[in-house]
Amino acid sequence: MKSSDERMLRLIAVFKFLNAALLTAVGVGLFRLLHKDVGDVLMHWTEALRLDPASHYVNLALEKAAHVSPAQVKKLGLGIFLYAVLFLTEGTGLWLRKRWGEWLTVVITASLVPVEIYEIHRHFGYAKIVVLTLNVAIVLYLIHHMRSADSIQGRT
In order, the DSSP letters of the chain are --HHHHHHHHHHHHHHHHHHHHHHHHHHHHHHTTTS-HHHHHHHHHHHTT--TTSHHHHHHHHHHHT--HHHHHHHHHHHHHHHHHHHHHHHHHHTT-HHHHHHHHHHHHHHHHHHHHHHHHS--HHHHHHHHHHHHHHHHHHHHHHHHHHHTT--
Residue 4 confidence (pLDDT) above 90 = no
Q: Is the pLDDT of residue 83 over 60?
A: yes
pLDDT digits (tens, 9 = 90+) for 102-126: 999 999 999 999 999 999 999 899 9
Per-residue pLDDT, 130? 95
Would you kindly state where each structural domain of the chain is located, as residue ranges? 1-95, 98-156
Per the model's pLDDT, the better-predicted residue between 120 and 57 turns out to be 120
Q: For 58-78, what is each residue's pLDDT tens digit? A: 888 878 887 888 888 899 999
pLDDT, residue 108, reads: 95
- Whether residue 153 is predicted with pLDDT greater than 80 in this model: the reply is no
Q: Kindly report the pTM of this predicted structure.
A: 0.79
More confident position, 95 or 63: 95
47 or 143: which leads in pLDDT: 143
pLDDT band at 43 (very low <50, low <70, confident <90, very high): confident
The pLDDT assigned to 27 comes to 93
Averaged confidence pLDDT in the chain: 89
Nearest to 13 by CA among 80, 120, 104: 104
